[in-house]
Structure formats: C-alpha cells, structure tokens
Amino acid sequence: MAFHIKSLIFFSVLIGCICVSQSDYLFNVCGSNGNYTNNSVYKTNLDKAFDNLLFAANTSNSGFYNASFGEESNRVYTLVLCRGDVQPDICRSCVKDSINMLKEQCPHQKEADEWYQECLLRYSNTSILNTLVTEPTRMHSGTVASDKAQFNQDLRDMLDNLKAQAIQQKFATAKQTTQDRTIYGLMQCTPDLSSTQCSNCLDKAIENIPTCCSGRTGGQVLKPSCRLRFEIGPFYDGTPSVDIQTPSAKQPPAGKLRTTFAYFWIDNAICNMFNFFYFLFFCSSWHR
C-alpha cells in the first residue's frame, strides 16, 4: 500500500514537472539597424512596451498581442504571436520566457525577432503591424523519406489544401492520410496581415522547402510574418482544420501484385483451406 502511494506521489510530481516545463526555444535574430545604450530613453520604452505586452497576455486569451511605447524616434513597437493551437497558460509562459530571453540575447539592438515552438516575439523602432516581413528565414528539417518523389507529391497536395484554409483564418492545421502515410501540417500568419499578404508569406515559406527539407519527412520554415511545419507524426493540439483522406494515386504494377499474391497464398495455406471450405459451404447454401 505504502509503495502504491509513493509511486502515485512520484508520478504526480513527474507529471507536474512535465506540465511546468519551459517554453521550447528555437532561435533569435538580433537586428543590425542600430543599437541603444543602457541608460537611453529607448531602453526605458522597450521595457515599458514589454510590460504592456505581458499585461495584454495576462488579460486576454487571443494569443496575439501588440504594444508600443514612446514618442517619435524613441517609439518601440512590439508584438507576440502564440501558435494557434497553444493553450492560454502555455502562451503566457512563452510570452514571459521569450521577453526575458530576448533581453538577454539581444541586449542593445534596436530591433530583434525570436522564435519558440509556442510563440514568436518581435520588436522594432519602426511600426511592425500590418507589414509583411519574410526575412530572416530559419529552417529545421527531419529525416530523409525512403520514397522521396511520392513523399514530395503527397506533401505538395497537403500544403495546397492547408494553405487555402490558412489564408482565410491565419491559422490552420491539416492531416492528410494516403495509402502510404499520414502527413500532419501547420501554417500560421500574424493575424494583422491581409489574406494576400498571408498568402505571399506562405508561398515564400513553401518555396523554401526544397532548400531545407526536400524529401524529408519533417520540416519547419519560420519567418517574421508566418510559419509552416510538417511532420509524419502528430505535433499539434486539437483536431485538424483540414482532414484529407486520399486513396494513393499509384497502383502497384501487375507483376509485383501477382508475386505478393503468391506469397500470400503460400503463407496462408491453412487459412485459405478454411476459406475454400467456407466458399464451398457458401455456394451450396446459395444453390438451395
């Protein structure tokens, strides 16, 4: 009994630890358009804008927050976008973690962008809302598919369907099942963009796939205005917004089919004997 209680406590603690784990940091890009100093007005304004961003994330569950602070050349613009499937408390943690990390990683740059699996944080001395920004780009990729050509074809089909949905709602997930495999996908644009801007950003992200992830079974393209990811295993929360079931386009060649059939016949001789008798029984009852 004591053992069971101890294991129960152990597992509760373990699960607790997993639940409070830190946000999943990917990378940052410190801007190159100028620096500010420690005691500058710009620094004070940046801290105030970040505070406003935290406050906004604390008080709303929208997952997209913007805040700006200051006057004229010292005005700071910030925004944060959580991945569309991320729960509000995870989003809030990501906003907090990303602000702390970016202050540390880009301590004097007037603008910077930072990506986590769960969110994107940006700040600049120029207005960043309603503006399409497709660079810098960072990419990650998975392992090589065994049937590259077919995989790329399946992937293209999935991305086309997913994009059509994503440009409407600025966030969409997809699950595409063919005879060969299931591919999962996710696309997101910052919600301040128009459908056309979103579409342009996602087109550029799709164009990046051959560079990073040609024939690979997983990949991710991250840009300031949009993100794209695909995997052969589930990686997002919730039911997919696009669920596609497609019979595979390719037919096995006749010769191969016959060989497979022969093996099947030999391997299943006993089973087939039963089937044969069942067949006889079926026919005899049919004739009655």
Binding site for ligand NAG (CB under 6 A): 33-35, 38, 51, 54-55, 58, 64, 66, 73, 108, 110, 125-126, 129, 192
* Separation between Cα atoms, residue 257 and residue 194, nearest integer Å: 50
Nearer to ligand NAG, 81 or 209 (CB): 81
Of 214, 221, 213, the residue nearest 163 (C-alpha): 221
How far is the C-alpha of 130 from the C-alpha of 49, rounded, in Å? 18
Closest to ligand NAG by CB, 48 vs 140, is 48
Would you call 40 helix, strand, or coil by DSSP? coil
Q: How far is the CB of 84 from ligand NAG (least distance, A)?
A: 15
Q: Is 69 helix (H, G, I), strand (E, B) or coil?
A: strand
Nearest alpha-carbon partner for 83 in 202, 199, 187:
187
Which residue of this chain has its Cβ atom nearest to ligand NAG in the complex? 34
Instruction: Quote the CA–CA distance of 167 and 251 in Å, as a whole number.
Output: 34
Paired with 193 in beta bridges are none
CB of 25 to ligand NAG, least distance (A): 20
Q: Min. distance of Cβ 29 from ligand NAG in angstroms?
A: 13
Closer to ligand NAG by Cβ: residue 109 or 141: 109
Closest CB to ligand NAG among residues 126, 268: 126
Nearer to ligand NAG, 108 or 140 (CB): 108
**DSSP string across 200-255:** HHHHHHHHHHHHHHTTBSEEEEE-SSEEEEEESS--SSS--SEEEE---SPPPPHH
Smallest gap from Cβ 193 to ligand NAG, in A, equals 10
Q: Minimal distance in Å, beta carbon 109 to ligand NAG? A: 6
Quote the DSSP letter at residue 5: H
In the complex, least distance from residue 168 CB atom to ligand NAG, rounded to whole angstroms = 17
Cβ proximity to ligand NAG, 51 vs 237, nearer residue: 51
